[in-house]
Chain A
Amino acid sequence: EDKVVQSPLSLVVHEGDTVTLNCSYEVTNFRSLLWYKQEKKAPTFLFMLTSSGIEKKSGRLSSILDKKELFSILNITATQTGDSAIYLCAFYSGNTGKLIFGQGTTLQVKP
């Protein structure tokens, strides 16, 4: 059965810290992996990754995919309180044409 596992489930850091969020997956027909940020509302899109080893970057956030080891990481440098959110990882299944979400990592950034 296709699944996505995120770790840690929750994380508390202080402003200025760097965090790494992990996402591992087991899929039969992987097409792409997506990261979303969810505050007290709907998820907002961060990145879509399809190729191994190519880092995607947006400001203080970056992400990379390892298709051999079946995982992705999301890095946030110089964290700010506005980064506090749930970060969702999802993969797009070529078998079903659907996104399969992980449970999410809840990040709290303290001042």
Chain B
Amino acid sequence: DAMVIQNPRYQVTQFGKPVTLSCSQTLNHNVMYWYQQKSSQAPKLLFHYYDKDFNNEADTPDNFQSRRPNTSFCFLDIRSPGLGDAAMYLCATSPRTSGRGYEQYFGPGTRLTVT
């Protein structure tokens, strides 16, 4: 089945130790998104890629970086995680961003714990 896959599902890292979260999709969608969702809050958009075109949100900290080496894969790098970065990280895809908009398909998420 076509889907969005995230690895790992749970990640524990130490304060300041770099961590990489991965996302892959078999939907062949142009657009990939990374969201951060903290407990009892709505998902907050960090970045999105339209094909290889990278779009950073103005309030995304510099500590967060992203890479999209090809259509299927996207990575989220947290260079020096702080306790405040503990959250669920959601990857999503959609066919495109123009027009009336298209539903975004979410992966299962990676829950990051920072100790």
Contact with A along B45-58 (1 / 0, CB 8 A): 10010100000000
Could you tell me if A32 and B42 are in contact, using CB atoms closer than 8 angstroms?
Answer: no
Which of chain B's residues has its CB closest to A34's CB?
A: B103
The reply to whether A44 and B106 contact each other, CB–CB distance below 8 Å, is: yes
Determine which of B42, B90, B100, B105 lies in contact with A92 in the assembled complex, contact meaning CB atoms within 8 Å: B100
Q: How large is the interface on A (under 10, 10 to 19, 20 to 34, 35 or more residues)?
A: 20 to 34
**Size band of the interface chain B makes with A:** 20 to 34
Q: A43 with B101: in contact, given A101-B43, A102-B42, A104-B42 (CB under 8 Å)?
A: no
Are A103 and B107 in contact (CB-based, < 8 A)?
no
A42 touches B108 (CB 8 A): yes
**A80 CB–B CB distance under 8 Å:** no
Q: Which residue of B is nearest A45, CB measured?
A: B103
Please, how many angstroms separate the alpha-carbon atoms of A104 and B39 in the complex?
11
> With A31-B99, A97-B97, A97-B98 as given contacts, are A45 and B41 in contact (CB-CB < 8 Å)?
no
For A48, the closest partner residue in chain B by CB is: B103
> How far in angstroms is the closest Cβ of chain A from B22?
15
Residue with the greatest number of chain B CB neighbours at <10 A, chosen from A32, A41, A94: A41
CB within 8 Å of B: which residues of A? 31-32, 34, 36, 41-45, 48, 50, 88, 92, 94, 97-99, 101-104, 106
Which residues of chain B have a CB within 8 Å of any CB of chain A? 40-43, 45, 48, 50, 90, 92, 97-109
